[in-house]
């Protein structure tokens, strides 16, 4: 059975901005390694089995941990902190969406632009 060819079924990505509390990595053997970003978000109140803030796991490549470690050592990043994460969206366990980080950088909000107010027209 072939997969239907639909443009929207291609490469899905999303950008997240959130408080990344930590990064973790694992290495079982040379071919099985990876990592995760852990993003904290205020409790939505939708689940009665969670007390306190909720954690969102975003998978990441093993190499991303080492890259971020170098950024921390150089002072370019600090955890926990507010970060912008570009993530690939794929189908995970039980057909739920899974997020895998493609890139991560400290979040720098864009400056707010003031709308210039014009003086009233005199009649």
Q: What is the pLDDT of residues 11-31, one digit of tens each?
A: 889 999 999 999 999 999 888
Percent of the chain with pLDDT over 90: 66
Residue 34 in contact with residue 74, Cβ under 8 Å? no
The number of folded domains in the chain is: 1
Residue 38 in contact with residue 23, Cβ under 8 Å? yes
Residue range(s) defining the domain that contains residue 74: 35-45+61-88
Q: How many CA atoms lie within 13 A of 59 on its CB side?
A: 12
- Which two tokens mark 88? 């690939």
Among the residue ranges 29-33, 53-57, 59-63, 74-78, the one predicted with the least confidence is: 29-33
Is residue 78 pLDDT above 70, yes or no? Answer: yes
State the Cα angle at 94 between 3 and 43, rounded to 5°.
125
């Amino acid at each position: 059975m072939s997969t239907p060819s639909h443009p929207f079924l291609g490469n899905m990505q999303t950008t997240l901005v959130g408080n990344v509390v930590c990064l973790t990595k694992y290495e079982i053997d040379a071919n099985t390694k990876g990592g995760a970003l852990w993003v904290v978000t205020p409790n939505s109140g939708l689940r009665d089995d969670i007390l306190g803030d909720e954690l969102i796991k975003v998978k990441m490549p093993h190499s991303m941990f080492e890259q971020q470690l170098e950024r921390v050592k150089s002072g370019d990043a600090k955890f926990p902190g507010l970060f912008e994460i570009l993530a690939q969206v794929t189908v995970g366990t039980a057909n739920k969406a899974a997020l895998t980080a493609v890139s991560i950088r400290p979040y720098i909000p864009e400056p707010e632009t003031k709308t210039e107010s014009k003086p009233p027209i005199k009649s």
